[in-house]
Amino acid sequence: GRKRVEDELAHLSLHDGLTGIPNRAFFLETLRKSVARARRAGSRVAVLLLDLDRFKQVNDRLGHEFGDALLVDVARRLTDGLRAGDFVARLGGDEFVILFENFGHDEHAAGLADKITDVLAPVFRLEGQEVSVSASIGISTFPECGDDAGSLMKTADVAMYRAKESGRNTYHFYSRSVHAEMSRRSQLEADLREAMRQDHFDLEYQPIADLRNGRIAAVEALLRWNHPDHGQVRPLEFIPILEATGLMNRVGEWVLASACAQVKEWQRTLNRPDLGVAVNLSYQQLLHRRIVDQVHRILTNAGLEASMLTVEINEATVLENPRVVREQLQLLAREGVRIALDDFGTGYSSLQAIRQLPLSTIKIDRSLVMSLPTDPEDVAVVDAVLRFAEDLDLEVIAEGVEAQAQLDFLAERGCALGQGYLISPPLPVASVDSFVSTNWRAA
Ligand code: C2E
Ligand code: MG
Ligand code: MG
């Protein structure tokens, strides 16, 4: 009767419509009570915030219905796989959260995070498809990371992003060091704005050698920021900030223009009209609707032939949004610019997906090159990439070549081009002339 209906309504407002597990409201209410109890008892509470890795791609690739079915399965695995006392809820989208009470040491919370990882590890079989799912988990604890539900959620979120940044499929505790990192980041952001006003950016150029004859085929422009207090800041640290703050387009345009003008000058002064230049493009730059006009204008101003410029897009960028990235690359390729897939081997793109991109070059990531020639698995992958590239008539560059044994292996397998400290580190402008004109093996 009436009671049933009321129960039903109460259930609906506290549970997630898709998966049937508790929703955000229910979770926050439970967390509030739990924190109040812990405060009285002097005990601890942990919030584990879990975000599925690359769920958006699964959705894009296999459709929303499939995505929904997958979320239902993930919810089921979490509720079935964890202890009855662990309160599991869905916050929305591909975000889940787990409340962990009455634990002593951080290791227990870490143990639960490991358990979650294990529970999600076996492949999901749905509608005749198999997909693997991993998650990035942020952990915050009461009382260390916040003294109410809201701040615990916020700090777990910060920690979750940190887990994403450190390569996904992992967990991260919110801590003062994360906090320190956040404030360093906002300081860097302010400093970057200043750097843009004051021209504190610079480029170095790393030679790319033809492994057969030692000739320098091209140079890759690499962005450098000399911070007035911290000295050189690594691009992997400041480029994400430039991206997040929308400043990357302006810096990227400067990189393109400087690199094209510089290489045109080297082509003339070194009498090397065939010397190419590679420039990295970030996701944001690639998606900019005027990128093709921008590249066209820069090439014209520099007087550089389009085919002398290679833009490098890394695998992570392609995975962000394969369809849109492909469309933008096609427009650039139509300009006559060459396209390289950077850091190949770090993501999970299939060779099939890569086939659909208008590539001229594949750059094999340092992480694969590093374990050559001893690791049989990496040897097999590199071999497969080389064969694939040959079939499609793509150029291959091995990145991060540091040892002679790696180089010998690559050359023997027919990899034409290499880049890495063994050949040369990135060089300041003034040192490039002599390096290029003497060639690497002669030097
Ligand atoms: P990347 O495009 O894959 O560039 C190669 C990176 O590997 C460079 O790091 C280079 O210094 C380093 N490297 C080269 N040879 C070796 C080696 O033998 N061993 C080791 N351990 N490292 C080697 P860098 O300059 O720190 O740049 C890191 C990344 O930052 C670049 O990776 C690229 O993704 C990004 N980046 C750099 N400049 C730009 C830029 O102007 N625009 C954009 N969007 N991204 C850039
Ligand atoms: Mg690159
Ligand atoms: Mg690379």
Mean pLDDT, residues 244-273: 95
C-alpha distances in Å from residue 191, one per residue of 124, 203, 282, 313: 46, 18, 20, 27
* Structure tokens belonging to residue 94: 């591909």
pLDDT of residue 377: 86
Residue 79 has pLDDT above 50, yes or no: yes
> Which atom of ligand 1 is found nearest the CA of 401?
18
- Residues 340 and 361 sit within 8 Å (Cβ to Cβ): yes
- Residues 270 and 436 sit within 8 Å (Cβ to Cβ): yes
Residue 6 has pLDDT above 70, yes or no: no
- Whole-number Å distance, alpha carbon 162 to ligand 2 midpoint, is 23
Q: Of the ligands numbered here, which is closest to the C-alpha atom of 236?
A: 1
Q: Can you spell out the DSSP letters for 146-176?
A: -SSHHHHHHHHHHHHHHHHHTTSS-EEE--H
Average pLDDT, the chain: 91
Instruction: For residue 49, count CB atoms less than 10 angstroms from its CB and return exposed for 0-12, middle for 13-18, buried for 19 or more.
Output: buried
pLDDT of residue 106: 84
Q: Which amino acid is at 323?
A: R
Tens digit of pLDDT for each residue in 131-154?
999 999 999 999 988 889 999 999
Indicate the pLDDT class of residue 443, thresholds 50, 70 and 90. very low
Tens digit of pLDDT for each residue in 360-386?
999 999 989 998 998 888 899 899 999
Look at 216 and 187; give whichever has higher pLDDT. 216
- Whole-number Å distance, alpha carbon 137 to ligand 2 midpoint, is 29
Indicate the pLDDT class of residue 178, thresholds 50, 70 and 90. low
C-alpha distances in Å from residue 384, one per residue of 371, 419, 435: 16, 20, 32
Tens digit of pLDDT for each residue in 308-319?
999 999 988 888
- Whole-number Å distance, alpha carbon 341 to ligand 1 midpoint, is 13
Look at 280 and 109; give whichever has higher pLDDT. 280
Mean pLDDT, residues 38-60: 91
Residue 346 has pLDDT above 60, yes or no: yes
CA angle 381, 312, 428 (to 5 degrees): 110
Query: Residues lining ligand 1, judged by CB closer than 6 Å?
Result: 206, 222-223, 234-236, 239, 252, 255, 280-282, 312, 314, 342-343, 366, 399-402, 419-421, 426
- Whole-number Å distance, alpha carbon 39 to ligand 3 midpoint, is 49
Give dist(CA 419, CA 402) in Å, integer: 9
Give dist(CA 300, CA 221) in Å, integer: 19
Mean pLDDT, residues 403-416: 95
Mean pLDDT, residues 5-14: 72
Indicate the pLDDT class of residue 104, thresholds 50, 70 and 90. confident
Indicate the pLDDT class of residue 282, thresholds 50, 70 and 90. very high
